[in-house]
């Protein structure tokens, strides 16, 4: 999500850090900062806003020195501000951090009771305090202090630490957040992405989970968290800067499709309360005794996630849910009651129609909960409660990881509401929570099998139109599959409830129409199979998305894409992945501008 750079060597660190951060700015851009060591102590310069703000501040208050760490931030805990910007310095220790500390609430309480004074709202500052505490209680050197602190931390992180008393080292640690080491001649680098340091060196070591690096000017050591030495030779990376920004993928959309398992881990981080078979919603306390109805408002892909949300929330909490396009809701004089909870979903948090719907709902006295990916964006700021998906910046115009993390957020919300209304039994909640935890691996499994979608895309990519069909909670996924294909390949596509087929769209079917049918195992399987057979009987080309192990479907479909088994409630999260890949590969085959399709903008801030 955020970007990290560190340098140790004979040259001035600040220009190298700023140059690296500039290359990472696309990942997070609400604030930036550096900590650079000279003459016995490090100097921290931080600034809210774009990197240019930091550059201007550094011109006025330079930070000279040959050892330093830098960070560009995409806020997750604590709004964007100078004080929440990294590095966070406590005593002699400066820390930059990517990822999420899951047990941050507990650690913060413990540190505060031990007398620690916090100056920011971030989870990162906890790490600075913990390392400081390790020094106070006798840690011999920075590596030991970091190791001691990390034993207490749960979560996904990449951290880089600078110690005023040990300017000949930088220590970095990684757990489930990317981190690379750059090898130079008498100088070394650390960064969250190769992009940041590729202009300095092409000799790169990719670190793995639970590894810790101690960098010096003239060398480095890589160990595991028990201090055991690890040998790993550097690789020579010959990516161009543009390739590196996309982690070697050709498009942001491909990168973001592959980021989804990681993004879902971040959405879940710190929110699952297995002890009580429940979910903690970052302190959000919605009093269900006052809610008679939920109304969901959103646009585009976020509207499709709201449609899935209706299934999840009604099923688990039995609170009635209505879903509206924000652009319709705001102009149709809707009934708004004080007993309504309006859930507004917006990746960007800036969509004009969703904003208009939220203003209307608030004016009518309803409570509003916003689900967004962008901390402190307008819609969550306006809402009574804000819940963040933690997907990280989404650059490709076609939404992918924002969508799946919205679905996971809605599943968490549904569990929370269901446990409060008492309609969701603890055993069922436990089962769903366990399945949510196993989803990232299943998602990775689907995405890794993407080559098959590339073949299918080439086979059907010249079609004039596509039909997508699903039933129940997969009907919104059919809509989303059609929207993805339209957006980036410009092929006309329609999403339909499979049960509606005979009421009209069946007239479209002939041998030239590819029909994508979502038919995983579940309560509606037989019904969808009979819809699929009707397509086949009219010579439509059937691309079936089915559950691995379904041995019958191959006989009645032209193409079968298998996805792992999961609970029916969570199937949309897996089923949408091959549809994202299909649209990506069709667009790539047709040679359209995938990341910036014609006529579309990432954030629709006008009506
Ligand atoms: C589709 C897409 C758009 C957005 C819509 C709402 O891939 O990206 O349909 O989903 O413009 O945007 P947000 O979620 O930012 O309100």
**411 CA distance to ligand 1 middle (Å):** 20
| 605 domain residue, yes or no | no
Which pLDDT value is given to residue 274? 86
Ligand 1 atom nearest residue 348's Cα: 15
Both structure tokens of 282: 């970052």
Which pLDDT value is given to residue 176? 76
- Cα 587 to the center of its chain, rounded Å: 23
- The stretch 22-27 carries a mean pLDDT of 79
Render pLDDT for 66-101 as a digit per residue (tens, 0 to 9).
999 999 998 878 888 999 999 999 999 999 998 888
- Cα 259 to the center of its chain, rounded Å: 7
pTM of the model: 0.82
Establish whether 66 is a catalytic residue. Answer: no
**442 CA distance to ligand 1 middle (Å):** 25
Instruction: Give the chain's domain count.
Output: 3
- The stretch 456-479 carries a mean pLDDT of 97
Q: Is the CB of 325 under 6 A from ligand 1?
A: no
Q: Is the CB of 207 under 6 A from ligand 1?
A: no
Establish whether 2 is a catalytic residue. Answer: yes
407 or 23, greater pLDDT: 407
Residues 431 and 457 in one domain: no
Catalytic residue among 2, 47, 66, 299: 2
| 599 domain residue, yes or no | no
**How far apart, in whole angstroms, are the C-alpha atoms of residue 585 and residue 461?**
8
Q: Assign 143 a pLDDT band (cuts: 50, 70, 90).
A: very high
Residues 333 and 350 in one domain: yes
Q: Is the CB of 267 under 6 A from ligand 1?
A: no
| 602 domain residue, yes or no | no
Q: Is the CB of 215 under 6 A from ligand 1?
A: no
Q: Is the pLDDT of residue 26 over 90?
A: no
| 596 domain residue, yes or no | no
Residues 107 and 75 in one domain: yes
Q: Assign 25 a pLDDT band (cuts: 50, 70, 90).
A: confident
Q: List the domain range (segments joined by +) for residue 151.
A: 3-243
Single out the residue in 442, 476, 502 at which a domain terminates.
Answer: 442
Residues 497 and 427 in one domain: no
222 or 286, greater pLDDT: 222
**604 CA distance to ligand 1 middle (Å):** 8
**How far apart, in whole angstroms, are the C-alpha atoms of residue 46 and residue 48?**
7
Which CATH number covers residue 384?
Answer: 3.40.50.10490
| 597 domain residue, yes or no | no
Residues 62 and 149 in one domain: yes
| 598 domain residue, yes or no | no
| 69 domain residue, yes or no | yes
Q: Is the CB of 301 under 6 A from ligand 1?
A: yes
Ligand 1 atom nearest residue 602's Cα: 8
Residues 317 and 434 in one domain: yes
40 CB burial (10 A radius; 0-12, 13-18, 19+): exposed
- The stretch 515-525 carries a mean pLDDT of 96
Residues 432 and 520 in one domain: no
Residues 269 and 224 in one domain: no
Q: Is the CB of 400 under 6 A from ligand 1?
A: no
| 131 domain residue, yes or no | yes
Q: Is the pLDDT of residue 31 over 80?
A: yes
Q: Is the pLDDT of residue 1 over 70?
A: no
**How far apart, in whole angstroms, are the C-alpha atoms of residue 375 and residue 367?**
19
What are the residues whose beta carbons fall under 8 Å from the beta carbon of 30, sequence distance 6 or more? 48, 49, 73, 74, 75, 80, 375, 376
Residue with CA closest to ligand 1 atom 4: 300
What 8-state DSSP symbol labels residue 588? H
Q: Is the pLDDT of residue 242 over 80?
A: no
**How far apart, in whole angstroms, are the C-alpha atoms of residue 528 and residue 517?**
8
Both structure tokens of 341: 């909870």
- The stretch 305-322 carries a mean pLDDT of 98
Ligand 1 atom nearest residue 298's Cα: 16
- The stretch 380-390 carries a mean pLDDT of 95
HSE of 68 in the Cβ direction (CA atoms, 13 Å)? 30
Which pLDDT value is given to residue 27? 65
Ligand 1 atom nearest residue 604's Cα: 11
Q: Is the pLDDT of residue 244 over 90?
A: no
155 or 475, greater pLDDT: 475
Residues 239 and 267 in one domain: no
Q: Is the pLDDT of residue 417 over 90?
A: yes
Which CATH number covers residue 117?
Answer: 3.60.20.10
Q: What percentage of the chain reaches a pLDDT higher than 70?
A: 99
Give how far Cα 368 sits from Cα of 292, 325, 501, 519, Å.
14, 16, 36, 35
Residues 211 and 337 in one domain: no
Render pLDDT for 39-49 as a digit per residue (tens, 0 to 9).
999 999 999 98
What are the residues whose beta carbons fall under 8 Å from the beta carbon of 407, sequence distance 6 or more? 305, 308, 309, 572, 573, 576
pLDDT mean across residues, the chain? 94
**402 CA distance to ligand 1 middle (Å):** 9
Q: Is the CB of 42 under 6 A from ligand 1?
A: no
Render pLDDT for 540-591 as a digit per residue (tens, 0 to 9).
999 999 999 999 999 999 999 999 999 999 999 999 999 999 999 999 999 9
**How far apart, in whole angstroms, are the C-alpha atoms of residue 25 and residue 73?**
8
Q: Is the pLDDT of residue 29 over 80?
A: no
Residues 264 and 362 in one domain: yes
Q: Is the pLDDT of residue 392 over 90?
A: no
- The stretch 319-324 carries a mean pLDDT of 98
Single out the residue in 195, 223, 243 at which a domain terminates.
Answer: 243
Q: Is the CB of 529 under 6 A from ligand 1?
A: no
**84 CA distance to ligand 1 middle (Å):** 28
Ligand 1 atom nearest residue 351's Cα: 16
Determine phi and psi for 189, rounding to 5 degrees.
-135, 155
Residues 427 and 536 in one domain: no
Q: Is the pLDDT of residue 594 over 90?
A: yes
């Amino acid at each position: 999500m955020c970007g990290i750079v560190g340098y140790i060597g004979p040259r001035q660190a600040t220009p190298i850090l700023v140059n690296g951060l500039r290359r990472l700015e696309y990942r997070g851009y609400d604030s930036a900062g550096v900590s650079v060591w000279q003459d016995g102590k490090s100097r921290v310069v931080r600034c809210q806003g774009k990197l240019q703000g930091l550059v201007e501040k550094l011109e006025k208050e330079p930070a000279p020195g040959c050892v330093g760490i830098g960070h560009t931030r995409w806020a997750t805990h604590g709004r964007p501000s100078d004080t929440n910007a990294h590095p966070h310095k406590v005593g002699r220790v400066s820390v930059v951090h990517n990822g999420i500390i899951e047990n941050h609430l507990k650690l913060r309480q413990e540190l505060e009771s031990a007398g620690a004074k916090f100056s920011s709202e971030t989870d990162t500052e906890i790490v600075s305090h913990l390392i400081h505490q390790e020094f106070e209680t006798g840690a011999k050197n920075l590596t030991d202090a970091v190791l001691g602190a990390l034993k207490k931390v749960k979560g996904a992180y990449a951290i880089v630490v600078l110690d005023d008393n040990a300017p000949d080292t930088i220590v970095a640690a990684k757990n489930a957040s990317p981190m690379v080491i750059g090898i130079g001649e008498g100088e070394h680098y650390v960064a969250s992405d190769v992009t940041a340091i590729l202009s300095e060196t092409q000799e790169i070591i990719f670190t793995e989970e639970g590894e810790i690096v101690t960098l010096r000017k003239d060398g480095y050591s890589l160990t595991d968290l028990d201090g055991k030495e690890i040998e790993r030779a550097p690789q020579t990376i010959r990516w161009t800067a543009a390739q590196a920004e996309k982690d070697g993928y050709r498009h942001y959309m491909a990168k973001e499709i592959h980021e989804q398992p990681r993004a879902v881990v971040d959405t879940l981080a710190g929110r699952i309360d297995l002890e009580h078979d429940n979910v903690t919603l970052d302190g959000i306390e919605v009093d269900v005794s006052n809610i008679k109805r939920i109304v969901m408002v959103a646009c585009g892909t976020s509207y499709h996630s709201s449609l899935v949300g209706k299934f999840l929330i009604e099923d688990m909490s039995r609170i009635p849910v209505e879903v509206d396009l924000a652009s319709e809701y705001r102009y149709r004089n809707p009934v708004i009651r004080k007993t309504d909870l309006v859930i507004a979903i917006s990746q960007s948090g800036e969509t004009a129609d969703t904003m208009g719907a939220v203003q209307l709902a608030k004016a009518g006295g309803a409570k509003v909960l916003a689900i967004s990916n962008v901390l402190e964006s307008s819609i969550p700021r306006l809402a009574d409660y804000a819940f963040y998906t933690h997907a990280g910046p989404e650059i490709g115009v076609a939404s992918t990881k924002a969508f799946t993390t919205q679905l996971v957020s809605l599943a968490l919300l549904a569990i929370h509401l269901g446990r409060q209304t008492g309609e969701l039994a603890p055993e069922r909640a436990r089962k769903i929570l366990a399945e949510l935890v196993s989803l990232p691996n299943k998602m990775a499994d689907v995405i890794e099998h993407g080559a098959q979608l590339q073949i299918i895309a080439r086979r059907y990519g010249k079609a004039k139109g596509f039909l997508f069909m699903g039933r129940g909670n997969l009907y919104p996924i059919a809509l989303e599959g059609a929207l993805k294909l339209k957006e980036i390949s410009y092929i006309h596509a329609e999403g339909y409830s499979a049960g509606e087929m005979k009421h009209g769209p069946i007239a479209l079917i002939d041998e030239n129409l590819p029909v994508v049918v979502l038919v995983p195992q579940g309560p509606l399987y037989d019904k969808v199979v009979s819809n699929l057979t009707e397509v086949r009987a009219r010579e439509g080309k059937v691309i079936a998305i089915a559950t691995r192990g379904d041995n019958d479907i191959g006989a009645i479909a032209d193409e079968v894409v298998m996805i792992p088994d999961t609970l029916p409630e969570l199937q949309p999260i897996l089923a949408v992945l091959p549809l994202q890949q299909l649209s990506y590969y069709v667009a790539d085959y047709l040679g359209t501008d995938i990341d910036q399709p014609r006529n579309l903008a990432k954030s629709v801030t006008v009506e």
